[in-house]
Amino acid sequence: MDVHACHGFHVGSALERVEEVEWHEETARGARTRVRDYTCGCQGVAYELCCSGGLMFVRRLDGRGEPSVVMESAWLVTREAERLWEALMAGLVR
């Protein structure tokens, strides 16, 4: 088995005009956070679609530097968070 094989989906290539997501510092807002979906981190940045306390958000994990940087999108109702996730996967936002 190749230990360097990619695991998970890859974020779509950014389109020419990409909308910027407003990223915030990571918070410990909920008691428990469940990762519902995630992307491969083979290119240094990975994303997770997370659920906590009845809301959802996207977590951005940037492992290209030392130390790694973890940021979060706004906490959103499910429908809005899923739209953000789909736009991220399609390369419409970063």
What would the pLDDT profile of 29-69 be if each residue is shown by its tens digit? Answer: 888 999 999 999 888 999 999 999 999 999 999 989 889 99
* CB proximity list for 89: less than 8 A, separation 6 or greater: 9, 11, 12, 39
Average pLDDT, the chain: 89
Q: What is the pLDDT of residue 3?
A: 43
Q: What is the pTM of this model?
A: 0.88
Q: Say how far apart CA 29 and CA 60 lie, in whole Å.
A: 16
